[in-house]
Structure formats: C-alpha cells, structure tokens
Amino acid sequence: MARFHLPPEQLPTAWFNLLPRLDSPLDPPLHPATREPVGPDDLAPLFPMALIQQEMSPEPWIDIPGEVLDILRLWRPTPLVRAERLEAALDTPARIYFKDESGSPAGSHKPNTAVPQAFYNKQEGINRLTTETGAGQWGTALSFATRQFDMECKVYMVRASYDQKPYRKIMMEVWGGEVVASPIDDPDSPGSLGTAITDAVRDAVTRDDSHYSLGSVLNHVLLHQTIIGLEAKEQLRMAGEDLPDVVIAPCGGGSNLGGLSFPFVPDEGVRLVAVEPASCPTLTEGSFEYDFGDSAGMTPLLPMFTLGHDFMPPSIHAGGLRYHGDSPIVSKLVKEGRMEAIAYPQGKVFDAAIQFANIEGKVAAPEAAHAIRVAIDEALACKESGEAKVILFNYCGHGHLDLAAYDDYLHGRLIDA
C-alpha cells in the first residue's frame, strides 16, 4: 500500500467553485409559496449571508477563512492511498487510488463543510444550529464543529438510523449535540432525510437565535467539499499520474461525490461516476423536475432528479444515501451526460465491503462501500480488456460505528434492497 501525503503548507486555501464553469447556468430555486425565484432575503431566516452569497457566487475561487483552516488542519490534508493489495488480488492492470477521508474527528468527509458553516453562522451572531442526519455522520460532524465555536446543536436523526446506530448518537452527545429521533410526530415511521429536514427547518424558523445547517445538496455545501478533489489532484501528480480515467463516489445528496469530482469536471476524458442504492435510485430512476428538499414542502423547490418528496425509502444501512432528491449541480451534470449514475443493491455493496476489509484492512461505512463496489467492478473490467486505467474513488468514511450492518450481513439478516 502506497500512501501519498501533502505537506501541511499545501493545504488548499480556496474552494473550487463549479458554478461559473458550467456550460449553462443552474435554474434558480423557487419559493415554496409563490413559485418565484428566491432571493437572499428569502433564505436569510435559515442561512447566514456569507453562505447565501456562496450559494450563488460567480467567483471561480472562494477563499477559505483562516479560522476555518486552523481547524481543518487537525486532520487535513488527508492521504491518497494506492490500493496495491486490492489490485493484486483482482489481478488487474488498473491502478486503484482512494482518498481517505476517514481520519477526521467525525470519521468522515462531513466536517469539511460543518466547520465553515458553523464559522459563518457564529460570525453573524447565531449561537444555535439545527440539522438533520441520516446515518449520523453529518450530525456528528456538525456537533463537533459547533463545539469549536461554542454553539448549540440540535440534531434530528432519522429514526431508522437512530435505532440502528446508537453509538453515533453518543458521539454527537460527547460534543454537546442534542439528538432526537425523526419524524418527531410519527414514532412508528422509519423516517427519511426528507422528514428530518422538515423537523430541523421547522425548529430553526421558530427561534431567533437559530439557523438551519444542511450536510449535502446545496451549492455551498459541495463547494466546501471540493477541498477533497483539490488535494487529490496534487497527490495524483505526486504518484506520477496525470489524470484519473474514472472518478467514483457514492451519492445521496451529492456532497462527497461533488467534493471529489467537481475539480475534475473541466478535464476532458475523465469519467465521473455516481453510485447510489438500488432502493433509493434517485439519479437512475427519478425524474428531473422541481421538487421540495423536505417532505412537508417547507423548503425552496430545487431543480433536481427526484423520487418525489414524499418518497419513503427502505431502512437500508447506508442511511446517508436515503434521500429522495439530489444536488442540483450533480443532477445537471447527469442530465447533460457529463456524469454517469449507477445503482446497486446493498447485498452486492457489502460483498465489496467485506472483500476490501479483508484485503486492504479497512472497514468502510456502508456509504463508502458503494464506491468500493464500483471501483472493483471497474478494475475487473480492466482485467478483461487489458486496459491499465487509473481509478480514483472517495473513501468517505469508516464503518466502526456501523458494525450492526456488518453483523446483519455476516449472519444472513441483510435485506438485499
């Protein structure tokens, strides 16, 4: 296993903004009541003005505040790893690399945006944030980030994950987060990210001291995550590679997919692949239209691939991918053919996760295992064709708090949804 580390002084100091580089502008979000394009004032009850400006910014690069960089340096830059043992086991001529985001305090890529979101809110005088969380990675990250700025955090955790992953709840509480199961008004429902967003937004708009914070989907969230792909580009050069042939990441709302892939969008010849669960096939079976980001229709309508905001996905273990819609930018890239999308049932995903754990020694989060599945299949295709492609995927988080999922798989209880 070869690991490529950037020195601390090469930590990116600006985020890569894909918006001005798109072939055509995004369609605007629409107000839920008037169906007219929303303006900054419409979003001000939920977000600080700095994030609203980033959501719509025409600037190609946006500087990362020094206070944010100081916290990101706790774990960044993260390593790029060449999976040589996996290559050998698959007997493939492909070269497989993964960006290891599992070493953050929360164990995933999520703090990359949680920290700046907390910073900008604190800067505007907001001392309390509400949010949703699926598998718990985002709620964990925001609880960590708000603690760094002496803020309160209220987390609405999708009930299926709240029951499946109790240690995620405890981790949030270690950092001072208050965690409740969602939906709060229907204790018999397994919940979804859509219902949890409704709970969190409803909470935020009823209190003057609170804003809402989102872990995926919106432009500013994916902007903050581009630090992943910017580092990966430099590390691939360190490894003697020009550009990858294929870039792969799991996709629920789009944050870790966009974070790794967006800096590669302008590079011709690089395939971008989004992988999602077959039980929640937003990009592969959804329709492209305006839809609400939450289940109750409280949020602006976004132009995206969607299964319908009232869609209730099965309680698969990849809780972070159980979302009815997707990022408008990711949706646009898929619609225009610049990005591919593929869906897998969770049985095949866990097959790959077990194989990876036994060969490379790393126990992946169920979300990250989706990318591993595609990387293995791409490498096996190279074995058949004889092509020595460079494969890059996002190892977006470890599975140390997801062991109940592995227990279900190993003992035949996993539903192949």
Q: Residue 34 CB: number of other CB atoms within 10 A?
A: 9
pLDDT of residue 316: 60
Which residues have CB under 8 Å from 170's CB, separation 6+? none
Residues 6, 116, 305: CA angle, nearest 5 degrees: 95
Per-residue tens of pLDDT for the chain, all 417 residues: 699 999 999 999 999 999 999 999 999 999 999 999 999 999 999 999 999 999 999 999 999 999 999 999 999 999 999 999 999 999 999 999 999 999 999 999 999 999 999 999 999 999 999 999 988 899 999 999 999 999 999 999 999 889 988 999 999 999 999 999 999 999 999 988 888 989 999 999 999 999 999 999 999 999 999 999 999 999 999 999 999 999 999 998 899 999 999 999 999 999 999 999 998 999 999 999 999 988 888 889 999 999 998 887 766 655 567 788 999 999 999 999 999 999 999 999 999 999 999 999 999 999 999 999 999 999 999 999 999 999 999 999 999 998 988 999 999 988 776
Between the two ends of the chain, the Cα-to-Cα distance in Å is 33
Residue 319 has what pLDDT?
57
Confidence (pTM): 0.96
CA distances, 275 to each of 156, 261, 280 (Å):
26, 13, 11
Residues 6+ apart with CB under 8 A from 152: 127, 128, 129, 146, 176, 178
Contact 10, 234 (CB under 8 A): yes
Phi then psi for residue 397, to 5 deg, are 180, 155
Q: Taking the CB of residue 187, how many other CB atoms lie within 10 A of it?
A: 9
CB count within 10 Å of CB 3 equals 11
